[in-house]
Amino acid sequence: MYNLVLNENMKIYRRVRTWILIGLMAGFVILGNFVMWHEAKDASADDWQTQVTQEKENWNKQLQKTNLDEGLEKFYKERIAVIDYQLEHDIHPTQGTMWNGILESASLAMLITLLTIIIAGDIIASEFATGTIKLLLIRPASRLKILLSKYIAMLMFSFVLLLTLFIISFLLNGILFGFNHMGLPLIRLIDGQVVEQNMFLYLWKTYLLNGISTVMYITIAFMISSAFRSSAMAIAFSIGTLFAGNILLEVLRGYNWSKYLLFANTDLTQYLDNRPFQDGMTLSFSIGVLVVYFVVLNLISWLMFTRRDVAA
């Protein structure tokens, strides 16, 4: 099994294409962070106390207004509570520190999903398309093991991308903003209580929750690959689901059953930030739905990959 994964990795990383994709992602992250740094540099002339005090006054003014939206009112009050806490305990806000860029970059994890889909759609289907599947399957390794080794290689690939994202955004923002706020805690309001959270922990929680959606998309790509044995189909279909899925969700949000759709549950960061797709959805509900999809999709891949004739 170890050797099989080694083989799959060799086939991924000894291709120029893979490095172009990784380079592309790195380029995106670097560009995005530079733009954010540039904007932040222009904005911050005063020290942070003055800035947050100004912000607080602004929110207070907004709160004076009548017919205020309930959601907005909640948001303003949360911000004010956080600012008060920061001023009181002399804790620098993330704005103007390396952490702002790093946290923003975490939203680029979507790119990781995208790139992983491209490789995952290809890793099975291309073996069929080029005929190499024949020489791969006539070895003393069951088809299940071959499939599994490809799966593991994809998980590793998405992890490599994640590390790339983390390292680049960490170093770049550190260099641009300075590393002096590395130990800064994250101040958040949870259930009406202001709490301090470890920034690294929060960041990696976001990453890993995003990783779960990546895993789901790898699974979809594998299923399409095994069923149709066509890279183009697998890549197009999975990326299509990634984008069309979110659009479709907006349309279907009104229907209660839409919470059982796969895409309504793939983004688990909705619970981290306390804004679920539909009221009443919980983290365990989403995990349950994901597990069911995961098992069914993998079962289909497995049946398609191990049972069918290889006529390539």
User: Applying CB under 8 A, which of residues 45, 69, 254, 311 lies at the interface with another protein?
Assistant: 311
Report the residue number, 275 or 307, with the smaller CB distance to another protein: 307
Tell me which residues in 131-150 interact with another protein (CB under 8 A): 131-132, 134-135, 137-142
Report the residue number, 79 or 145, with the smaller CB distance to another protein: 145
Report the residue number, 49 or 130, with the smaller CB distance to another protein: 130
Count of chain residues binding another protein (CB under 8 A): 23
Least distance in Å: CB of 11 to another protein? Answer: 6
Least distance in Å: CB of 117 to another protein? Answer: 20
Dist. CA 268–CA 277, nearest whole Å: 10
Least distance in Å: CB of 138 to another protein? Answer: 4
Tell me which residues in 4-33 interact with another protein (CB under 8 A): 4, 6-7, 10-11, 14-16
Angle, nearest 10°, between helix axes 109-130 and 16-43?
170
Q: What is the torsional sign of CA 172, 173, 176, 179?
A: negative
Q: Which amino acid is at 87?
A: L
Dist. CA 56–CA 82, nearest whole Å: 10
Dist. CA 189–CA 167, nearest whole Å: 28
Least distance in Å: CB of 231 to another protein? Answer: 14
DSSP assignment of 8-58: HHHHHHTSHHHHHHHHHHHHHHHHHHHHHHHHHHHH--S-HHHHHHHHHHH
Q: What is the torsional sign of CA 25, 226, 127, 144?
A: positive
DSSP 107: G
Binding mask 270-309 for another protein (x = CB under 8 A): ---------------------------------------x
Report the residue number, 232 or 312, with the smaller CB distance to another protein: 312
Q: Under the rule (CB under 8 A), what is the footprint of another protein?
A: 3-4, 6-7, 10-11, 14-16, 130-132, 134-135, 137-142, 309-311
